[in-house]
Amino acid sequence: MPHKISFLVLSSSGHEDGYSAKELMVHAPTVSGWRSPRFCLYPQEIILQLADRCRIRKLQLLAHQYMISTKIEFYVCESLPEYFTPHQSDWFRRLGYVSLSDNEKTGFKARELKSVHVDAVGQYLKLIFHKNYANRYNLYNQVALVAINIIGDPAEHSDLDSAVSPTREKLINQYLGLSLDDPLLDGSYVG
């Protein structure tokens, strides 16, 4: 059954003092989350290491009320090389992206919660934040993420489920009344 997956922040492009990406590892009302540096270059990125290799089912992102990225991209990978540099993207597989609202309709008072359904296996998740929406409250052109939840299953359980379900070949053989041990399927059988 899918559940919340714990993670560590492996790296980030940067942060404003007091708003490290490590804040995303703690879920509490007093936590402010991550903020990009003031007047940073885009895109910004955060790489998370999941507690175990998982089948990721859903990502939940809580955006800041006025430091809003126009788009957030998601990437996943199974493992990283020993000497990995954060901006190497050839190890990651792109899952997709989500666009966020500019939040003008709420007067920049509400935080947008985005739920993104995915089906990907990996132990590392990369988030890429594109440029911010310009508004009168975001004086330093920053983006921020208040919280993130990763929902999924340990990959071993997901893989076992698919191994137990019959494959196409097994179904065909069962329908034809053949077993894999059947001498008719062995090319060396002389008869």
Q: What are the DSSP calls for 135-157, one per residue? A: -TT-TT---EEEEEEEEEEEHHH
How high is the mean pLDDT of the chain? 86
Instruction: Please choose, from the candidates 108, 114, 121, the residue with its C-alpha nearest in 3D space to the C-alpha of residue 158.
Output: 121
Structural domain that includes position 153: 3-163
Structural domain contains residue 11? yes
Q: Which residue has the higher pLDDT, 130 or 82?
A: 130
Structural domain contains residue 53? yes
Count how many domains the chain has.
1
User: Could you tell me what percent of the chain has a pLDDT over 90?
Assistant: 71
Structural domain contains residue 179? no
Structural domain contains residue 169? no
Q: What is the helix (H) or strand (E) element at residue 12, kind and residue range?
A: strand 7-12
Predicted confidence (pLDDT) per residue in 24-38, tens digit: 999 998 999 999 999
- In this prediction, residue 87 has a pLDDT band, given cuts at 50, 70 and 90, of low
DSSP 8-state symbol, 105: G
pLDDT at 177 over 90: no
Whichever domain contains 17, its CATH number is 2.60.120.260
pLDDT at 160 over 50: no
Q: What is the predicted pLDDT for the residue at 90? A: 77
Find all residues with CB under 8 Å of 78, minimum gap 6, and list them.
53, 121, 122, 123, 124
Would you call 46 exposed, middle or buried from its count of C-beta atoms within 10 A (0-12, 13-18, 19+)? buried
Residue 76 · residue 95 · CB < 8 Å: yes
Residue 57 · residue 42 · CB < 8 Å: no
Structural domain contains residue 68? yes
Structural domain contains residue 188? no
DSSP 8-state symbol, 13: S
Structural domain contains residue 181? no
How many other C-beta atoms can be found within 10 angstroms of the C-beta atom of residue 157?
11
pTM, full prediction: 0.79
Structural domain contains residue 7? yes
Instruction: Please choose, from the candidates 6, 42, 30, the residue with its C-alpha nearest in 3D space to the C-alpha of residue 134.
Output: 42
Instruction: Please choose, from the candidates 21, 66, 23, the residue with its C-alpha nearest in 3D space to the C-alpha of residue 45.
Output: 21
Q: What is the predicted pLDDT for the residue at 83? A: 72
